[in-house]
Amino acid sequence: MQSRSPLFNRLMWVAGVYYQNDKQMSSERLEDPQSNEFTQLLFNQSAADFWGGWPDVGKYAYINQTRAKDEQTAVFANATVEIIKGLKFDAGIRYTHADYSFTNFADGSHNDARTTGAGGISENPVTPKFTLSYQIDRHSMVYAGWSKGWRVGGANTPVPQRLCQNDLDNFGMGSAPEKYKSDSVKSWELGSKNQFFNNRLQIAGSLYYINWSNIQQNAYLPECGVQYTTNMGSAVSKGFDLQATLYPVDGLAIDSTLGFTDAHYTQNSYVGSNGTGLLARKGDSLGTPGWTYSLGVQYNIPKHIFSVAHGQVYVRTDYQYISRPNGTTIQRDPQTLVYNNGYYLTQSQNYLTLRVGAKFENNMNLSFYVNNLPNLSPMVTSSSQVNGSLLQQQSTMRPRYMGVLWTYSR
């Protein structure tokens, strides 16, 4: 529900209730018909010997099924007051009660034996936000804001004990933690939005600083290749972003974005009963790209020059650049327990698309598109699933592909 105060029309507020009941089921089943050839080549052992027994070699290598339930109930309220003409203060708060639970079973030779597990967590976070904005004139506005965000905790499925025993010993753990807590962010933002030359040029920009606490992150067991989720210390993410749109002539639009992010851990994070197993080191990168850039150009051809079935023809191209991640990630830091000598930072990515289409008066849009126009194939990910393994897994962008898209909206 919402209301506008009759007091000079300066106060607006909204309040409400939110409910979510999300149920999910995931199922994984692995079979490896060439397992004997694989283990003979790499380890000079049969698959049955390598895995300590494997009936029906190649079948039922790994079976995993998880059923999870995420139930949340929340109440929220937000109010905006105009202090003086153009100066507004916005404040909001949200209280949430969250319950997360799961059941799991796993089986197969790679799991050693059938295992079952169940767990859950219940939390009650409060997340406020505040924004102060000033409308200088109808073309320019500046603002400053602070907010707190939150992500529900959860529980881990059991880690295969026999397969991962060496890793667990190195971590100083008897097993993976049964649950992990919520993490939260506190963010500060300062920005402005501006229009120039009779709205033909629009520019928006912001500076931000984010403090991330009790980080939820996957901890990688490098010898057995299994991961579990844990809370790993704190980090900061800081940077800026710029957006600009230019309409130099009627029908032509040029839009561009530029952003920079520096995200790194601000303290060491340890694991294990003795608290000496280093998972993340102060200064290690979170693996986010440093620079991002995009440029889009669209031209709407005037109908009196060219049209198709009375529809307006347009041509659009988009370019996107994503740089390599900044700094050393925890997987590439030899001082951490999750170090993987087969993990490599990705290459920078360049992505170009082209679209030619027509918009019709009945809200139909018909277009022909080509994605990854130059057919580039940079290394997007590259790692060995198990530390020291000769098997390297890599991924790249989808090769050039094209198609026809038809959309209709009422």
DSSP assignment of 304-359 equals: TT-EETTEEEEEEEEEEEEPPBPS-BGGG-TTSTT--TT-BPPPPEEEEEEEEEEE
| Full residue range of the structural domain in which residue 133 is found | 2-408
What value does the CA radius of gyration of the chain take, rounded to a whole number of Å? 27
Asked if the model's pLDDT at residue 109 lies above 60, the reply is yes
Q: What is the pLDDT of residues 47-102, one digit of tens each?
A: 777 766 666 666 777 888 999 999 999 999 999 999 999 999 999 999 999 999 99
More confident residue, 9 or 179: 179
pLDDT of residue 217: 85
> What pLDDT was estimated at residue 90?
98
What's the pLDDT at 52? 65
Name the pTM for this structure: 0.85
Q: Give me the pLDDT at residue 5, please.
A: 57
The mean pLDDT of 190-200, rounded to a whole number, is: 97
Task: Say if residue 219's pLDDT is above 90.
Answer: no
Q: In the prediction, which pLDDT does 155 show?
A: 84
Confidence of residue 314 (pLDDT cuts 50, 70, 90): very high
- Whether the pLDDT of residue 6 is over 60: the answer is no
Domain count, the chain: 1
Predicted pLDDT of residue 355 = 98
- Residue-level pLDDT at 74: 98
Which pLDDT belongs to residue 315? 98
- Coil, strand or helix at 222: coil
The mean predicted confidence, pLDDT, of the chain is 89
- Running DSSP on this structure, what letter comes out for residue 156? P
**DSSP per-residue letters across 6-63:** SSTT-EEEEEEEEEEEEEEEEEEEE--TTHHHHHHHHHSS-HHHHTT--SSTTS-SEE
Give the model's pLDDT for residue 9: 74
Q: How many CB atoms lie within 10 A of CB 20?
A: 11
Across residues 319-331, what is the average pLDDT? 92
pLDDT of amino acid 134:
98
**pLDDT surpassing 90 at residue 171:** no
Q: Is the pLDDT assigned to residue 15 strictly greater than 90? A: yes
Q: Which two tokens stand for residue 50?
A: 């390598």
- Nearest-angstrom CA–CA distance, 379 and 340: 17
For residues 238 and 261, give the distance between their C-alpha atoms in angstroms, rounded to a whole number: 6
* Dihedral, CA of residue 77, residue 83, residue 88 and residue 93, to nearest 10: -20
Backbone torsions φ then ψ of 120, nearest 5 degrees: -175, 170
Give the CATH number for residue 79.
2.40.170.20
Question: How far from chain centre, in Å, is Cα 254?
Answer: 28
CA distance to 48, 240, 410, per residue, from 114 (Å):
17, 50, 53
Distance CA 251, CA 237 (A): 38
Residue in 350, 359, 258, 225 with CA at minimum distance from that of residue 301: 359
Band of residue 8 on the pLDDT scale cut at 50, 70, 90: low
Q: Tell me: the pLDDT tens digits for 383-401?
A: 776 666 667 788 899 999 9
CB atoms within 10 A of CB 102: 21
pLDDT of res. 245: 98
Q: What is the pLDDT of residue 33?
A: 79
pLDDT at residue 256 in the model: 98
pLDDT in tens, 334-378: 999 888 887 777 789 999 999 999 999 888 999 999 999 999 999
